[in-house]
Chain A
Amino acid sequence: MRFANTAEGYGLLSRVLHWGIALAILGMLGLGTWIDRMTPDLSNFWLFGLHKSIGLTILVLVLVRLAWHRYSPPPVLRAMQHPWELYLARTVHWSLYLLLLAIPLTGWAASSATGIDTLYFDHWTVPPIAPPSESLSDLGFAAHGVLTKMLMLLLLLHIVGALRHGTGPGSALRRMWRG
């Protein structure tokens, strides 16, 4: 089993990062929607901490993935039926990376601006990245919400695109799953 990427296939680390981040994002979309709608009290307050901790984990994993792909470039996208499909696939990939950095960062900044400590898994206090400010906090949370809606749309495009590319040997989905 190859650890690094090759020109033909994804190595183990890229695949684990891809599916790990994917799982975390799906969980976070559900958890984020849930805590946004619930009435907070002492019994469910810990869910905010969990959301922040998973979000920071996703941020780190995305940075690791970007760094890893500079060191071990992923295989190039196979030629598609139409040139616009390749262009769209690339645009969606880079937009996903941007959003997966911007969403945790806006959440972290908005949380910092409330004046409340951000704890990583109830254990470590993460430094604030924005000064206490009601307007910054409101702006940050609004951006966090809008960017998340964009992420949902892009994920849909990403999944539809992958499935459209097929599931047979040499398909993007097969390469991401089995290398």
Chain B
Amino acid sequence: MTPLRRPPDGRMRAALLALVLALLSVAPASAATHYLLDGSGSQVGFSTDFGNSKITGNFPVSAADLELDFRDVARSNVSVTLDVRSAVASFPFAAQAMKGPKVLDARRHPTIGFRSTRVRRSGNGAVIDGALTLRGVTQPVSLYAVFARPVGSDPGDLDHLIIRLTGAIQRSAFGATGWPDAVGDEVQLDITAWIVRVD
């Protein structure tokens, strides 16, 4: 098994070397492959407007469960769970406000969940339509996914992968409406999950 090389700052940096098309060309002919979260470095980065400034931060990914079919992408399934209580932001008040009752209400809703409903190929990656449950409210969300191999792994080695999902949500759609005059409604998401093949 090829060891993962994770940058010390936790970000992927040069890790995204190969995209899903490269994987598709070498994928085995079998059906969906089962992957789970690998280690603890996976996270969801977010950013939103705060007056003339920006609030950025991240949530740790507490679980990911993926059925990936590289030949027939539409047969893939993705589900991701986030730990709201461990979220951090670019300044402490922002994290407290975000986890507080006016936004994510972490005490009552300690996790955020995403479950795919439809996966289709798009460009070098895939568009994943799914249901995002945040603050107990479920809404449809589309995320754009690309896959990469960790640095140092062989081109044909699909045991360890990195999935990166990007997209945006309107927080008001989930009832996370606190401080609407100060904090932007649109929240940009950038999810990086390290996954490992389990079957």
Contacts and interface: CB of A to CB of B under 8 A. Distances in A.
Q: Do A and B bind each other?
A: yes
Contacts of B99: 115
A41 B52 contact: yes
B93 A132 contact: no
Interface stretch (B34-42, B100-108, B112-120, B163-171): B100-108
B136 to A, nearest CB: 13
A154 to B, nearest CB: 30
Given A39-B181, A42-B91, A137 B51 contact: no
Q: Interface SS of chain A: helix, strand, loop or mixed?
A: loop
B106 to A, nearest CB: 8
B182 A116 contact: no
Interface string B78-101: 000000000000011100110111
A50 B155 CA distance: 57
B178 interface: yes
Contacts of B91: 42, 45
Contact of A116 (B50, B53, B97, B105): B97
Given A115-B97, A132-B100, 6 more contacts: A41-B53, A42-B51, A42-B53, A45-B91, A114-B101, A137-B102
28 contacts: A39-B182, A40-B50, A40-B51, A40-B181, A41-B51, A41-B53, A41-B182, A42-B91, A43-B51, A44-B51, A45-B91, A45-B93, A114-B97, A114-B100, A114-B101, A114-B102, A114-B178, A115-B97, A116-B93, A116-B96, A116-B100, A117-B92, A132-B101, A132-B107, A133-B101, A134-B102, A134-B105, A137-B102
Interface of A: 39-45, 113-117, 132-134, 137
